[in-house]
Every structure is written in structure tokens, then in C-alpha cells.
Structure 1
Amino acid sequence: MLYQIHEWQRAILGPLSYFAQASARALTDQSNPFSQLPGAQRAAAGYELMYRLGKEYEKPEFGIHSVMAHGQPIAIVERCAMELPFCQLKRFKRFSDAPEVIEQMKNDPAVLVVAPLSGHHATLLRDTVRSLLSDHKVYITDWTDARMVPAEHGAFHLHDYVAYIEQFIRHIGARKLHVISVCQPTVPVLAAISLMAARGEQTPLSMTMMGGPIEPRSNPTGVNNLATTQPLSWFKGNVIHTVPPNYPGHGREVYPGFLQHAGFVAMNPSRHMNSHWDFYQNLLRGDLDDAEAHRKFYDEYNAVLDMPAEYYLDTISTVFQQFLLPRGLWDVNGERVKPSAITDTALLTIEGELDDISGLGQTEAAHDLCSGIPANRRAHKVIDGAGHYGIFSGRRWREIVYPQVRDFIKRMDKDRG
């Protein structure tokens, strides 16, 4: 019922937000005589703030059309390399007219970026992808909003996520592949590569794990504490809802994106209130650059997706309540997950000093589990002053983190190549 109430609210706010948008545009159009009236700028700023608070936020585009690679501007075309019901494997294909650049790009390492399925779209890693494209062939997991997946496609569990990662690795080819997982997918990625190694399959050259809950008992955060202080039945009864009839996935049980977004905001409500107030003040002052930065951030931050209920509850139980991976007790479709079976895949772990989602030590724990990887093929980095998002986006990512990731991949690619 809560989901239906949300849809009614959205239906009511939709026309009001569009009215506010039209009014804001009219009052900032210099050809409109009403824009010259006293107080017009203040009214326009208020209308735009109203529009942005009430509008529906659609999935953003990656919008990466060109990068600099090998000293030349390179065109980028986004393609779907493989499609499964709950995820598309996207490739960012690079093009150049210079034969020498084409030859250099052919030798660049291939990287699979495994994006989180935890509320936001994969476009949250836009900055990660853009940086990687300068030196790598880049693929990314683009997870589908569960409300858009027809119910006949069945359930999607945590073990299905693991199976998807295995399929993507095989599709790209493990022999020349490096895998980067950000936050939540560090756990299923480690499971997928562990299972492949235990079966004797070829595994990727390296895996880079960034800010993920490999061992949530180490320096638990508010996110970890919520999962351990409530029984699984509480999550089933309070955050799981049914998709209403106006979506392709009607009848499917999900953890709705609007509830996740409310949780994101509740973690630091004053910061968001101040940000919106500053946006209003920037509009009044005519500070268009800061106002546009606010729009871009919240266009991404407010765009959320529904998660399949089975996957969400599996993750709460397996990762955050039973700690099956670090305890060595996790079975996926009857196969025990043994990270110690990994011997040929190098490991790089990265943590943010101020990460309030995955605390210090949670990702580093992968090194203890992956005891079969030689010490000279493992590394751990703590990024001073970085929060959770700072290790994969923004200035610290571009200037501090990415060069270390690039150099690690380059070294491991050369070692096996």
C-alpha cells in the first residue's frame, strides 16, 4: 500500500512541479516583461527550488562522449555488450582516426567495473569510468530497476548476482581482464572469482576492491549497526513492498528506491537542507556555476532504483547478519565460497579514512581470506581524508586513487602478459 500511496503523491506533485518549472523559466526570460518586476528573481528562485524538490528524477545518462587517451582526443560510444533480465553489460567503445593510437589502444588492459546494486544507478560511477577510459577498455554492470523487470523473469537473489558476474567475466574473457568492484559488490565479486578458481577456471588478472563490506564486523558503521540491531523479519515487514500495476514489474516484491532515498537523506538531513538553501541563495545572487553544480549532483543523487526483495534480504542476512563470507560458511548453489582458492588473481584493496558506510578494515579483510595470493601480488591503500564517495569520484579519486589503481593494473597486466 505504501508504494501505491507514493505513486498517488507523485501523480499529484508532477503537475505542480512542471508548473513551477514553467514559472521559473518565464520569470528568468529577459524577453518576458514580468521578469523585470520587483521580486521576480526571488520568485523564480523559489519556483525552481519547488520544481527540483517535487520533480521525478529519471535515470541519468553516462554522457561520456570523448576522453583524452594516449595524448589524443578519443571518441566514446556506449554499447550493450550483453543483456540479462536484471542487468546490461555496457561497453564504452573507444574510436580514433590515428593508426598509432588505435594500435596502442588495442594493447590497453580490459577492465570490468562492477557497480553497486544498492539504490543508485551505475551512472554514479561516471567519474570512475571516465578516468579509466584514458588507459583501459572499460565495461560496467548497468543494473536494471527491478520495477521495470516483468514478473515472469522470476526472482533475483544474491546467488544470481554472483552468477551474473561469472557470466560477464567469461563473456569478456578472464585472461586479459581486471575487475574493479565498488562498495557492495566486493562481496559477490570475491565469491564469483573464488568459485571460478575452485573449479579450475581461468580467473581475472586482478581484482580491485574499493570500500566494501568484506568483514562488516570490523569498525561497524551506522549501516552495519542497523542490519544487526533488527531481525530479518523487521526488514521484510517494513521496507519490502509490491510494485503497483503501472510498471512492467507489477506484482514483484522490491525494496523501493524512494525508501532507499529517504534513508540516504536521513543519514545527514541538515547537510541536504543546507545544500538546498545554498542553491536558492546562489540563484538569487546569480551564481550560475554553483547552481548548476547543485543540479548535477542532485540529478544523480535523487535518481534511485528499486532492488529485488530477494536480493536485498539475502544481502542483509548473508553479508550483514550472519557474516558468512569471513566465517568461511557461505555456500552458493551448493558450492562453498573459498577465497583461499584464488592464486592467479592479484588483489588491491582501497579504503577511505573517513568512510562512514564501510569502515576501515572491512575491505582490507579480503587479504586474510585470499591467503593463496602471493604477497607480491597484493596491496592495500588507505586514502587520507577520503569518505566513501571520495575513493571513486571527485578530485581525490582522479588525483590520488586512480593513479594507484592504474599503476597496479598495469603492473599485473604486464606480469601475466
Structure 2
Amino acid sequence: MRYMMTYDLMETMRNTNQWLGATAKTMASYPAFSIVPNPALAWAAAWGEVTERTFERMVVKPDWGIHTMTCEDGKDHLVNVETVVEKPFGDLIHFDVAGREEQPRKILLVAPMSGHYATLLRSTVKSLIVNCEVYVTDWHNARDIPVSAGKFDVEDYTLYLMEFMRELGPDTHVIAVCQPAPLTLAATAYLAELDPEAQPRTLTLIGGPIDPNATPTDVTDFGHRVTMGQLEETMIQRVGFKYKGVGRMVYPGLLQLSSFMSMNADRHSKAFNDQILRVARGEASDHDAHNRFYDEYLAVMDMPAEFYLSTVERIFKNGEIASNSFEVAGHKVDIGAITNVAVKTVEGAKDDISAPGQCVAALDLCTGLPDDMKAAHLEPDAGHYGIFAGKSWRNNIRPLVLDFIDSNSGPKKPAPKRKAKLKAVKTDAA
């Protein structure tokens, strides 16, 4: 019960701060006060506006905001977000451009489940949808998933990815961004063993911790330093009574956000102080740079406790992917089973989360893949975010990834026969 009380206390604090902001904004904007202009009142109203918006965004799932796009015919076409596969912990969605011919490139964009919603990849999707059919893994907020839906750990995540790949078929090109890279590699390998004909054509891994120990960072040091008991005691709480997932053990989004903010507290504090002054001077807008960034950054989601804990233990502490000893449902997945899926890795030279060396380690694990089906790219001067969004992605990395996809879109070599056929595994979380 104490875990549930802590969860509700955090939500109460967030709700109270949102109310305080709304109250300050309303009171300081009272029409009668305009008779005697006072800079303090303008500042109080601005503080209230920024505070209300900040704490409100923490429990709101951002919209994709991709409603139309201009195609080669010069016309604006509606973009519909359609659910292709619906599952308890995440859906496979498709950005369907109405009235446009189906594009030859079919891309599965695997979004991270690391505290933020899949909408974090909005700019990535917008850049690819121009000439690709884009599908995205849209993970759900654990607080909204009833306990009756069961558990969800790294093995269930891997099985979800396998089902999504099977649904899209063998002409799919998979791009995994950051956290899901090791599990996407494992899912591809397991699919190569289980159903070789369903393997995707290419697999692009962007800034993922395939081998976290290849180049240690603060993230990997923390993973080794803290014990699993300490993590469970300090990070895990039960969802409170307000949500459908009441009683589910989670790593709360609000707790994650406090960790994110504390790492760069001075920078965030300055950003909010500057925004308050801009609002007071009438220089801010609903979609200015500050709001665009923080509307997404502050929107956090709860992670299933078993997923978070198993990620730390099995991917970071035990290095099961790096040592090719990862198991799914009691079966050891052999990454060397990937024999006809072209694999490319992308890293940022200034990435301080998944440092250069961690992702490219995937190529050494693909022992069954010929060298001409492997590729690696190190983007100079790019940080973690820049390798899948921003200038580095748009100008350099995206063209390279699409060239890699096009060069491996010809007729596929027949998948090698396995000696023994593996038993299929149910993909629904137990």
C-alpha cells in the first residue's frame, strides 16, 4: 500500500501545482487590475500560465500533429493514423496518406519504451512519410493497462516486435531507435530461426545499447553501481486509484521526469525563467520553441516494472544481447541466425547516452551475415537526439539510411533451412 500512497502523493503534488498555476494566472489577470498597471501582476500571470501548462502536460499524451502532407501531385493529402495491430501494451499504427499510391518502401519504426511516448519520433516520421509507408510501434502508458492484462517484460517486448514484423511481411525495412535496438536485433534473430521467410529485408539500429560495456557512460555506470533490490525499492510504485491500471507495479513517469530534469537542472531552470519573462512581455506563443520542446519532453508515461527491471538486469548488468545469451520463453536466441537481413548501425560521435561503440557491436554478433550486408555510420558532432531528429538526421543520416534500404531491396536470397523447426511461442503477454 505504501507504494500506492507514494504514487498518489506524486500525482497530488502535480495536480496541486497545476491548480496553483491556473489560480495565479486567473487572479493576476483580473480585469480590474488593469486600471493600475503593475509589472508584478504581469509576472504573476505569466508565472501562472507557464506553471499550469508545465504540470498539465505531464499527464497528456501528445498528438502526432501530422494531419496533411503535400505529395508530388502538388495537392495536400490527409494523413490518417490507422491501427493495424491492437494489443494490451502497444499497437502497430500506420500513417496512411489518403489518395496516394502505396510507396515501395515499407518502414517499421520501432519507438523506445523509455519514459516518453512514441510521438517523440514525430519529426522522424514526418521526414520518412514523404516517400515511404511508415508504421510505428505505439506503446501504451502502463497506468492505463489493467492488472488483468498480465506482465510485460523484455521477452514480451521481443515477441510483440516479432508479431509486428510478421504482420507487415518480408518486404519490411525495420528502423529501431535507441532503447529497442538490442531487443529488435533479438526479435529479428528469433524470427530467422522460427520463420525465416518472414524476416525483414533490412534492419537499421540507431544509437542503441547493443553492448553497453563497449563504451561506458553515466547510464551504464549507474546500471552496474545500483543493485536490483535498490532499484525495486526506490523506483517502483503501484498505480494509484485514479487510473485503470490501479495496483499495477510501474516505474512512474513523474519519477522518471524528476530524474531527467535533475541531470540538467540549471539549464531547465533557466529555460523556464526565460519563458516566464517572454510571456510577461507578450513575446511567447502557443507553439514557440520552448513550448514545442517541453510539451513533448514533459509528457511522460509509466513503464511496466518488470520491463524496466528486466532491461536493467538483462541488457545492462548481464549483457545478454552482447554475449549472445538472450533467452525468450526458455529458448536461447542465436543472433548468428540472421543470414539474409542487411544490418546497418548509426551512432553519434557526441552521444552521451549510447556512446559510439555500443551500437556498432551488433555487426560482430551477426556472424552469419556476409560483410557486404553490413554497414556502419558514425555521425560527427551529433548527440543522442540528433541521430534520429534534427539537422543531422535530415541532411545526412536519413539519405544514407534510405540508400541502404534501396540497395538491399532487390530479390532476396532464399533463407537457409534450419535443422530443427522451432516451436511457435504465443506473443500475448502471459
Correspondence list, 1:59-208, <5 A: 59-70=61-72, 72=74, 73-96=76-99, 102=100, 105-173=101-169, 175-202=170-197, 203-208=199-204
Correspondence list, 1:360-379, <5 A: 360-379=356-375
Per the alignment, in what secondary structure is the counterpart of residue 372 of structure 2?
helix
Q: For the aligned residues, what is the CA RMSD?
A: 2.1
Q: What is the rounded CA distance, in whole Å, between the counterparts of 2:285 and 2:32 in structure 1? A: 23
Per the alignment, in what secondary structure is the counterpart of residue 67 of structure 1?
strand
Question: Quick one: structure 1 residues 94 and 233, their matched pair in 2 at CA, closer, same or farther if it must change by over 3 Å?
Answer: same
Aligned residues: 405
Contact 1:195-1:335 at 8 Å conserved across structures: no
Q: Which residue of 2 aligns with 1:99?
A: none
Could you tell me which amino acid in structure 1 is paired with residue 185 of structure 2? L
324-333 or 11-20, larger mean C-alpha shift: 11-20
Q: What is the rounded CA distance, in whole Å, between the counterparts of 2:25 and 2:155 in structure 1? A: 44
Q: What is the rounded CA distance, in whole Å, between the counterparts of 1:413 and 1:71 in structure 2? A: 25
Give the alignment's TM-score, normalised by structure 2.
0.89
Task: Tell me the alpha carbon deviations over residues 54-102 of structure 1, each in whole angstroms, 9 at most, x when there is no partner.
Answer: 4343010001012244464432111111110000111100123xxxxx4
Task: Tell me the alpha carbon deviations over residues 126-180 of structure 1, each in whole angstroms, 9 at most, x when there is no partner.
Answer: 001111101110110111100100011111111000000011111111x210111
Tell me by how many angstroms 1:280 deviates: 2.2
Question: Quick one: structure 1 residues 127 and 84, their matched pair in 2 at CA, closer, same or farther if it must change by over 3 Å?
Answer: same
202-211 or 262-271, larger mean C-alpha shift: 262-271
Q: What is the rounded CA distance, in whole Å, between the counterparts of 1:265 and 1:42 in structure 2? A: 24
Question: Quick one: structure 1 residues 415 and 285, their matched pair in 2 at CA, closer, same or farther if it must change by over 3 Å?
Answer: farther
Q: Which has the higher helix share?
A: 1
Tell me by how many angstroms 1:410 deviates: 1.8
Q: What is the rounded CA distance, in whole Å, between the counterparts of 1:251 and 1:33 in structure 2? A: 47
Task: Tell me the alpha carbon deviations over residues 272-326 of structure 1, each in whole angstroms, 9 at most, x when there is no partner.
Answer: 1121122123334443369721011111000000010111111011001000111
Could you tell me which amino acid in structure 1 is paired with residue 22 of structure 2? Y
Give the alignment's TM-score, normalised by structure 1.
0.92
Correspondence list, 1:324-403, <5 A: 324-403=320-399
Contact 2:108-2:172 at 8 Å conserved across structures: yes
Runs of 4+ in 1 over 6 A off after TM superposition: none
Tell me by how many angstroms 1:33 deviates: 7.4
Identity %: 38
Q: What is the rounded CA distance, in whole Å, between the counterparts of 1:125 and 1:45 in structure 2? A: 30
Structure 1 alignment gaps of length 5 or more: 97-101
Tell me by how many angstroms 1:2 deviates: 1.8
Structure 2 alignment gaps of length 5 or more: 414-430
Q: What is the rounded CA distance, in whole Å, between the counterparts of 1:356 and 1:231 in structure 2? A: 22
Per the alignment, in what secondary structure is the counterpart of residue 112 of structure 2?
coil
Question: Quick one: structure 1 residues 290 and 148, their matched pair in 2 at CA, closer, same or farther if it must change by over 3 Å?
Answer: closer
Q: Which residue of 2 aligns with 1:37?
A: 37
Question: Quick one: structure 1 residues 94 and 416, their matched pair in 2 at CA, closer, same or farther if it must change by over 3 Å?
Answer: farther
Contact 1:166-1:193 at 8 Å conserved across structures: yes
